[in-house]
Amino acid sequence: MLKIEKFEGLVAAPFTPVDRRGNLNIDIIPLYYNFLQNNGIAGAFINGSTGEGVSLTQKEKQLLLTAWGKQKKAGGKMRLITLVGGTSYQECIENAIFSKEAGISAIAVIAPFYFKPRDESALAEFVTKIGESVPDMPIYFYHIPALTGVYLPMRNFLKKISTMLPSFAGIKFTHEDFMDFFSCLQYENGRYDILWGRDECLLSALILGCKGAVGSTYNYAAPLYLKLISAYEKGDFEEARKLQMKSIEMIELINKYGGIATGKAYMRYIGIDCGKFRLPVRNMTDEEYKNFIQDVKQLKMDRYFSKFNKNEI
């Protein structure tokens, strides 16, 4: 059975950088890797929702895997997880094998979202089929029912997969069902790595025993969440709640300006231009970006944003 090396701290979900024509901007990856690492990020979850993995071609995913993996192979301390896909297990297997060769630390699988699994057993069988292709690589399940439409209890899924896939490592849990989340944390005395996936309620997850979290806002506001975690660990719950409220205020602007693409606007604000999201995701107009900047300044939280140095490479 594979020994599980659990993530502790923040795992950022990087944005996929593109140029003005919408093509991959691979050249920025070394800078991006070091930027995250220097801001206290423990890992990166690439090709996920924030990384537009479902909007990328197979070739583009592999180019990104190679670029990120190269930084890890060169001595980078930040571990890497990649989402290998979710509708075709053959394509997922292809990406899993490529990920291993590229030096990625672990892979993740989402539930098939077109032909959906009928129950936890069918989902476990699907994940196992992919995991068996890279038996010495940790396999995570990415639970995000708001996007996949697969609302299966994860505790029941753990019961199934624990007997089927020795390399199964844990779950990226992006759902508001705290009862199910806590049950997964407690499963077999905390055997699995259960990573929280909702930045706006990280504090609630910490109270339940969460040690690691994956999120998009950790890209540009790592200091905010590191201070929140520190305040919680010191027992300063009033400060931790204030910092969580700052997180909520920041995330409210994401909703105000149209959703997930606003994250790239935040990145542009701190100095890293990752381009735009691909259709059908809506991006800001130039005028909206000017208004967004004014709203960000009104938050008065620049000290909580990640620090970017152009000489990070």
Per-residue pLDDT of the chain (313 residues), as tens digits, is 678 999 999 999 999 999 999 999 999 999 999 999 999 999 999 999 999 999 999 999 999 999 999 999 999 999 999 999 889 999 999 999 999 999 999 999 999 999 999 999 999 999 999 999 999 999 999 999 999 999 999 999 999 999 999 999 999 999 999 999 999 999 999 999 999 999 999 999 999 999 999 999 999 999 999 999 999 999 999 999 999 999 999 999 999 999 999 999 999 999 999 999 999 999 999 999 999 999 999 999 999 999 997 765 5
Q: Clarify whether 142 is annotated catalytic.
A: yes
Both tokens of 166, joined, read: 């020795």
- Tell me if 3 is assigned to some domain: no
Domain count, the chain: 1
Domain, as residue range, for 71: 9-304
Given the residues 61, 72, 160, 172, the one annotated as active site: 172
- The whole-number pLDDT of residue 2 equals 76
- The whole-number pLDDT of residue 312 equals 57
Both tokens of 255, joined, read: 């909703």
Both tokens of 29, joined, read: 């990856």
End-to-end CA distance of the chain: 37
- Tell me if 219 is assigned to some domain: yes
- Tell me if 270 is assigned to some domain: yes
Given the residues 33, 89, 140, 142, the one annotated as active site: 142
- Tell me if 309 is assigned to some domain: no
- Tell me if 154 is assigned to some domain: yes
Distances (CA, A) of 62 to 18, 33, 57: 15, 17, 9
Residues 169/3, Cβ–Cβ less than 8 Å: no
Q: Is the pTM of this model over 0.85?
A: yes
- The whole-number pLDDT of residue 67 equals 97
Both tokens of 31, joined, read: 């800078």
- Nearest-angstrom CA–CA distance, 132 and 160: 15
- The whole-number pLDDT of residue 86 equals 81
Q: Determine phi and psi for 202, rounding to 5 degrees.
A: -60, -40
Both tokens of 173, joined, read: 């849990």
Residue 292, domain CATH: 3.20.20.70
Please report which helix (H) or strand (E) contains residue 196, including its range.
strand 193-196
- Tell me if 98 is assigned to some domain: yes
- The whole-number pLDDT of residue 85 equals 83
Which of 90, 156, 155, 87 has the alpha carbon at shortest distance from 121? 156
- Tell me if 311 is assigned to some domain: no
- Nearest-angstrom CA–CA distance, 183 and 218: 25
Strands 43-46 and 79-83, by their bridges, are parallel
Q: Clarify whether 77 is annotated catalytic.
A: no
- Tell me if 49 is assigned to some domain: yes
- Nearest-angstrom CA–CA distance, 306 and 271: 10
Q: Sort 61 into a burial class: Cβ within 10 Å, 0-12 / 13-18 / 19+.
A: buried
Distances (CA, A) of 294 to 244, 287, 300: 22, 11, 10
